[in-house]
Every structure is written in structure tokens, then in C-alpha cells.
Structure 1
Amino acid sequence: MASLPEQQEIVAVLDRLLGREEEVRQSAESVLAAIDSMKQSILARAFHGELGA
């Protein structure tokens, strides 16, 4: 079994990784929402004949 300081370091590393994972997940959700918004905007412009060649 790892010593107490080693266990504490492992926990600290895991906490940092989990925090980073949450940041990445939130960023990905933001990007997906932006893509969906752009897609809706492009479709609306296309249906209104506002897209140029």
C-alpha cells in the first residue's frame, strides 16, 4: 500500500485531472451549442434565399 503522502499526492493529481475533465466537457458543450446555432442560422438564411453563391 502507498504511504499516506503518496496517497495524498495521488488524490491531488486525480482532483486536478477531474477538474480539467470538467473544463473540457464544458468547452465541448459550448462548441456544440455554437455549431447548432450556426447551423440553424445557415438554414434560416437558406430558406429565406439569403445565401449568395
Structure 2
Amino acid sequence: MVNIPEGVVHWHGASATCKMVHIAITNFKEEDNVTWLNPVTDEEYKKVKEH
């Protein structure tokens, strides 16, 4: 489990060799609750090393 404070830009996801399950629980701040950034490209995804 990871707790990401409000306003922290972060990336999370699986790699080409490691699966991940993402369950998000968010709070609203006025009208906003989540700002989704651009998805990674296939090239970026393949470069991720398994930890």
C-alpha cells in the first residue's frame, strides 16, 4: 500500500515483466479529485526495469 499526498505528481504501473493491481481511493478538493496525466508510450513501458 502506498499513500500519495495531495498535489504530488507521480507515476505508477506495471512493467513489461511485472504485474500490478491499482485500487485508488481519493478525496475531492472542490470539483477536482484526480488529474490523470499522459499515459506512457510502449517504448517507455518496455524500458521499465523490474524491481
What TM-score results when the alignment is normalised by the length of structure 1? 0.25
| Structure holding more helix per residue | 1
Q: With CA pairs under 8 Å and 6+ residues apart, which has the higher RCO, 1 or 2?
A: 2
Larger radius of gyration: 1
